[in-house]
Amino acid sequence: MDIFQYFCENFYKRMVKKKTSKTKKGSSKSSGIKKITKETYLEWFESMLLQRKFEEKAGMLYGQQKIRGFCHLYIGQEAISAGMVSALNDEDKIMTAYRDHGFGLARGITPNACMAELYGKTTGCTKGKGGSMHFFSKEHNFVGGHGIVGAQIPMGAGLAFAEKYNKTGNIAVTLFGDGAARQGALHETFNMAMTWKLPVIFVCENNHYAMGTSVERTSNVKDIFTLGEAYDMPSEPVDGMDVQQVHNAVGKAAEYVRSGKGPYFLEIKTYRYKGHSMSDPQKYRTKDEVASYKDRDPIEQVRNIILKKKYATKAWIESIEAKVKALVEESVKFAEESELPKASELFEDVYVQHDYPYIKD
């Protein structure tokens, strides 16, 4: 066995061992585009509302210094997580950057485990050791939560390589921002992923700013999806304020990728309503610009469709609002009552491979 093969097998054993237990409700393994039904709208509404209310609460708690460290809110971008999760199979791997609370919740990590993670408590989804930027759940095939800008582009391709190597039939999706799209790692990864026909969907969540730097200031190439065309990768822009369009685009890309034809690139155009992180005065954009996106709010769009098409009543909407409020309140109580990790746990769950093949002293 050569070193590369050895590395891949060990990586797989540790990180992405084929799921055997509980998956989030809904999807079974399928290869076609999942049909959007009345239930899909109802699930989208609940998922997006939970993400929104959870993060509004997290923002408040950060202001009260109950949550420390970094905290990047996803508010405004929820149609991407909701539409992607509904379009994929539970066994597919999803990896993203540090703006990860929405994806964690959408994939089914409980609000309790998410809030406890923000509090750094031992009951958190990474035992309180990862915090806001490093949500992770092997059980939910949510593979982080990564703080190094753009690092998840090659790592996502690595996940896809493992799936292909192990012939699982699963695909990997890796998401990154418009700022990360300017990293050299993107080009190397696109090139290798195309050469090896890896089952990966690359997704640029273009929220128009990398911290305070607009897309226009980072490159003359403003249509980020065109970067994929240089590698003959099927590449498309998608309206990320519309969950239905996200679902359909991801479903189409997943079907293509799963069939063995190789990678796909989606540039999903979206907007974050809040600052980059908690200490951003947002001087680089106007209130009118923010308002123009809020006018197309994805949650309001879905709420209107549900009522207009009579998929559910106003009373149902109110019951979900109450349920979400209760879940978020319960998560805060849970997090506050949970224990901090013990000092003795510091060296637990640290990646160590004693026979690591590259380092020998």
Ligand X SMILES: Cc1ncc(C[n+]2csc(CCOP(=O)(O)OP(=O)(O)O)c2C)c(N)n1
How many secondary structure helices (H) and strands (E) does the chain include?
13, 7
| CB of 54 or CB of 209, closer to ligand X | 209
Cross-strand pairs, 172: 93, 200
| CB of 52 or CB of 99, closer to ligand X | 99
Is-contact 133 141, C-beta < 8 A?
Answer: no
Size of the site for ligand X (CB under 6 A): 15
Q: What is the pattern of x (binds ligand X, CB under 6 A) and - over residues 205-224?
A: --x-xxx-------------
Task: Please write down the HEC assignment for all residues of 270-299.
Answer: CCCCCCCCCCCCCCCCCHHHHHHHHCCCHH
Determine the 3-state secondary structure of 118 from DSSP. Answer: helix
Tokens of residue 145, six digits: 């939560």
Which stretch, 22-30, 83-91, 106-114, 177-185, contacts ligand X (CB under 6 A)? 177-185
Q: What is the pattern of x (binds ligand X, CB under 6 A) and - over residues 267-296?
A: ---------x--------------------
Q: Binding residue for ligand X (CB under 6 A) from 117, 178, 255, 297?
A: 178
Which helix (H) or strand (E) covers residue 11, if one does? helix 3-15
Q: Tell me if 147 contacts ligand X by CB under 6 A.
A: yes
Closest separation in Å from C-beta 29 to ligand X: 30
Q: Tell me, rounded to whole angstroms, the distance of Cα 76 from its chain centroid.
A: 14
Handedness of CA 197, 148, 356, 170 (dihedral sign): negative
Which stretch, 3-11, 29-37, 202-210, 322-330, contacts ligand X (CB under 6 A)? 202-210
Among candidate residues 2, 117, 145, the one with its CA nearest the CA of residue 54: 117
Q: Tell me if 177 contacts ligand X by CB under 6 A.
A: yes
| CB of 41 or CB of 265, closer to ligand X | 265
Which stretch, 56-64, 145-153, 305-313, 315-323, contacts ligand X (CB under 6 A)? 145-153
Q: Binding residue for ligand X (CB under 6 A) from 108, 145, 179, 199?
A: 179
Q: What is the pattern of x (binds ligand X, CB under 6 A) and - over residues 2-41?
A: ----------------------------------------
| Beta strands per DSSP E along 209-345 | 209-210, 213-214, 235-239, 264-269
| CB of 106 or CB of 210, closer to ligand X | 210
| CB of 46 or CB of 78, closer to ligand X | 78
| 122: exposed, middle or buried (Cβ count in 10 Å: 0-12, 13-18, 19+) | middle
Residue nearest to ligand X (CB): 177
| CB of 73 or CB of 113, closer to ligand X | 73
Closest separation in Å from C-beta 80 to ligand X: 11
Q: Tell me if 180 contacts ligand X by CB under 6 A.
A: yes
Q: Tell me if 76 contacts ligand X by CB under 6 A.
A: no
Contacts of 79 (CB under 8 A, 6+ apart): 44, 48, 240, 241, 242, 243, 246, 270, 298
Among candidate residues 48, 77, 37, the one with its CA nearest the CA of residue 270: 77
Q: Binding residue for ligand X (CB under 6 A) from 58, 149, 186, 246?
A: 149
Among candidate residues 106, 65, 164, 28, the one with its CA nearest the CA of residue 299: 106
Rounded Cα gap, residues 275 and 253, in angstroms: 30
Among candidate residues 91, 202, 98, the one with its CA nearest the CA of residue 142: 91
Q: Tell me if 154 contacts ligand X by CB under 6 A.
A: no
Q: What is the pattern of x (binds ligand X, CB under 6 A) and - over residues 90-109?
A: -------x-x----------
| CB of 163 or CB of 267, closer to ligand X | 267
State the residues that interact with ligand X by CB under 6 A: 97, 99, 147-149, 176-180, 207, 209-211, 276
